[in-house]
Amino acid sequence: MNLYKTLLNNQEYLETVNKIENTKFITDGKWDWEHGLGHYKRVAAYVKKILLKLNATERTIDLGMIAALLHDIGLSKGDKIDHAIESSNIFSRYIENTDITEVEKEIIKQAISDHSKGNCIESSIGLALVLADKLDVTYHRTINSSIQDKMNQEIQKIKKVDIDITDTDLIVTYQTDNNFDVKILNDWNKAILIPKKIAEYLKRNYTFIINGKKVDYENILIS
């Protein structure tokens, strides 16, 4: 993954990420989840796994992992903006000295701009990015939050999230502490709804599993 490794050695990129990591983003006074390099790398790993499951080329995987590293870069401008759109507007400055073509830049731009909601999936990179971003809902995201409300405390009980995509199914698996309250996902229902949307897009069945047990996700969302 040459492009991915190159970006991780880009000093300007690392300085921007450091700025983001040292900023507390408190949305509506509710929580300030991690949006730094740890998040970007985990999303990149998910992107790689998803694209491998979809039989993507090595180049597509590398570009997808680049998109993952850059998808929240707009937060360097603060959290009072549409960070997905801002990220899509400024990401290209960090990949100027690479062999990424203009066509590939447009694919990355569209994927980043759509990564929050997945309302306009136009490529496998866009599909992988929006799904990967919502899979990163483990303890890493909130353990250092300055706001330790019920939501953040429950998220810290999610130790691992995995994904499998077969010819017929999209399966999301959580490993959690035994006392994890799954209903807390009502407060961040994208964790359930985005994988469901992607499964429908791929024409796969959607299965949500927690600690080896299939979960009725529709019941969670109406409870």
- Domain for residue 131, yes or no? no
Say which residue, 42 or 218, is predicted with more confidence: 42
**Across the chain, what does the average pLDDT equal?**
92
pLDDT digits (tens, 9 = 90+) for 129-147: 999 999 999 999 999 888 8
Residues 169 and 215 reside in one and the same domain: yes
For the chain, what is the domain count? 2
Q: Is residue 125 part of a domain?
A: no
Same domain, 6 and 71: yes
pLDDT digits (tens, 9 = 90+) for 147-182: 888 889 999 999 999 999 999 999 999 999 999 999
pTM for the structure as a whole: 0.94
**Are 69 and 114 members of one domain?**
yes
Statement to judge: residues 141 and 183 lie in one domain: yes
Report the phi/psi class of residue 206: left, alpha or beta, with left for phi > 0 and alpha for psi in -120 to 50: beta
Say whether pLDDT at 223 is over 60: no
Whether residues 197 and 99 fall in one domain: no
**Read out DSSP for 2-67?**
HHHHHHHT-HHHHHHHHHHHTS---BTTTB----SHHHHHHHHHHHHHHHHHTT--HHHHHHHHHH
Q: Are residues 66 and 28 in the same domain?
A: yes
Residue 126 domain-assigned (yes or no): no
In a domain, 128, yes or no: no
Q: Do both 146 and 93 map to the same domain? A: no
Q: Do the domain assignments include residue 184?
A: yes
Percentage with pLDDT > 90 across the chain: 74
Give the domain extent around 34.
1-118
Domain contains 114: yes
- Which amino acid is present at 187? D
Residue 222's pLDDT is 61
Q: What's the rounded mean pLDDT across residues 32-51?
A: 95
Q: Which of 151, 127, 135, 116 is nearest to 191 (CA)?
A: 135
Q: Choose one of 91, 118, 145: the last residue of a domain.
A: 118
Arithmetic mean of pLDDT, 191-217: 94
